[in-house]
Chain A
Amino acid sequence: MSAVPNAAGPAILEDDEPVLELAARGDRAAQSLMMDHSIACANAGHIPLSVALGAAEVFARMAVYDGAAVNRRRLAGVLLWQAENLWNCGYYERSRIYQLEAIGIVNALADAGDERAAALLSQYAHAFSPDILKLAAELARGGEDAPDADPRPLGAH
């Protein structure tokens, strides 16, 4: 395997050690704070985007186990950001998987009556190919005969 550039560890995320330790021990609020911190790092560019998004993804996935719709929406957002980053780095296949999972989450929320998810899906539907939206919806319903999606990048029309 070749060298891994830009693979700096998430040390900056350990600035607030007590919060990190609480998050590690299963404290939901602390996990949410760590997700916020990771996203802030990604926005600020203090650490490589891949590092910040990796941490944000882990904490977002942990946070959804509290069952709150807002955390599921936030996970979808982190996954889409991750998908865009992966696409921009030429990691197309993985990017498509992240897109599908994110859209599936939002679809499921919308189907369950979450108005904010439905509004977001409607507002940003143009950013995705119709095929990938259809596939995500089918997968969210547990469909097994879903067609292959068009792996276009986010924002492609």
Chain B
Amino acid sequence: MGAFDEDGQTHAAARGDECAQLALALFYLNKARGAQNVMQSIHLTQLAGTFAMLAAAQGTVPAVRIYAFALRARIACGHLTEKSTADLTALAATLDAAIEGKSEEDRVEVQI
């Protein structure tokens, strides 16, 4: 039993897999959006923020770097509010595209 229910991607992230790090950031961001209370969302966004920080630090794929920084900025500003829910949904979609295609830089439409 583990508290870190992310389907085994941590090992890949630990080996330096940038996409695994970003995928984990997304995973925890999505969980945070469905959080039952503020404390739960804080906890989950910290996990998301740390993985986004790792993906951004590598930055081998420009689009991934931009998305990761956008994600981190949003978390850092505490903008996980009702207002930003729609933006986060859009961000999640662009992050997904970044993970899939790794060349979706021009699809960044999220306002930080």
Partner-B contacts on A (CB < 8 A)? 1-11, 13-14, 17, 20-21, 23-27, 31, 50-51, 53-55, 57-59, 61-63, 65, 79, 82, 86, 89-91, 94, 97-98, 100-101, 104, 139
Contacts and interface: CB of A to CB of B under 8 A. Distances in A.
Interface of B is mostly: helix
Interface residues of B, number: 44
Contacts of A94: 3, 40, 43
A100 B1 contact: yes
B2 A58 contact: no
Interface of B: 1-4, 10-11, 13-18, 21, 33-35, 37-43, 45-47, 49-51, 53-55, 57-58, 72-73, 75-78, 80-82, 85
Contacts of B77: 9
B39 to A, nearest CB: 4
Contacts of A97: 1, 3
